[in-house]
Amino acid sequence: MSGLGGLNKSANGVVVGLVQLQLPVVATREQLAAQTQRICDLVGKARRNQQTMDLVVFPEYALHGLSMDTNPEIMCTLDGPEVAAFRAACVEHRIWGCFSIMEANPEGNPYNSGLIIDDQGAIRLYYRKLHPWVPVEPWEPGNLGVPVCDGPNGSKLALIICHDGMFPEMAREAAYKGAEIILRTAGYTAPIRHAWKITNQANAFCNLAYTASVCMCGSDGTFDSMGEGMFCSFDGTVMVEGGGRPDEIITAELRPDLVREARTGWGVENNIYQLYHRGYVAVKGGAQDCPYTYMHDMAAGRYRLPWSDQVQVTDGSGFGFAPPVRFYGGAGSHPLVPAPTPPVPDKERLKTLD
């Protein structure tokens, strides 16, 4: 049940809109400014489209397109004009927004970053994609973990980006930190269609969370993104599913209170709890150990597959990127990484937009 796409919003509901944004071509500062304005205009469309909408979500690459261009001239910063415009649009139209930017990184390749901005213009969540879609994407691996923030109407939100959603650990981390609605933004094209659907459903069911996922849509003359926004309920069923029409906004009402009820009240298939309480019928509290070799090995820095020596693609040279010569410094080690922007008092929020 989605309240007829959110038209019949309940007291505990959160209405989310997923924008199947037309895939743009952005290669210059002028095109970047034009696409920024287009996204802001669609924030307004979302509000006009549905007065009950709490959060509008734009896909990965909404601002930059799929060129994988790392030209510093079109990279963004948190204090740059593009983010300022998104913050102002959320204030003007009294709506939360989720946005995508390619973020400048003075020490290496840009980050593929996502922001959740509230209806007062404050950045509530700031995330850098942990798992770039290698070997195709050139982005620096993220170093901010998987943050969770308070969302509209008492909800808990997380954001993962595109390829992140193919790793069960990503959605599990988001849910472990309390996320009830897991947003997934993407630029995927048609070959990923089946994997897109089943992972969105699995991420929801395995973590008793809603997933709200959307891709870019249409063609830029080279690539064809698939759109296909979809909402999955916490039992893994598809609630609402979009098609391939560019700029269509797919909507649903989500009920975080029902997620909380399931997480505390379910016995059968309460998997995120039972992961650490396995066999609690036989032993008091269940077995509270870690029987997974890969977890121990990753934490110890010795993760290695039996076939690691046979893996043939280990850099981006096949897609025109020079092999890297620099090693990863580790999460949080970068001296120039800014902290996520904290909420500020209402009057101060508005001053920052002047």
Which of 162, 206, 215, 232 is flagged as catalytic? Answer: 162
Q: What's the rounded Cα separation, in Å, for the pair 237 and 216?
A: 23
Residue 169 annotated as catalytic: no
Enclosing H/E stretch for 205:
helix 193-207
Q: Which amino acid is at 296?
A: H
Catalytic residue list contains 76: no
Q: Which among 82, 129, 217, 253 is annotated as catalytic?
A: 129
Specify whether 162 is catalytic.
Answer: yes
Distant-in-sequence, close-in-space partners of 196: CB < 8 Å, separation ≥ 6: 165, 186, 188, 213, 215, 226, 228
State the catalytic residue, choosing from 40, 60, 206, 228.
Answer: 60
15, 53 in Cβ contact below 8 A? yes
Q: Please, which residues have CB within 8 angstroms of residue 157's CB and are 6 or more apart in sequence?
A: 55, 116, 124, 125, 148, 149, 150, 151, 179, 180, 181, 182, 183
Token code pair at residue 279:
């066999």
Main-chain dihedrals φ then ψ at residue 67, nearest 5 degrees: -70, -20
Catalytic residues: 60, 129, 162
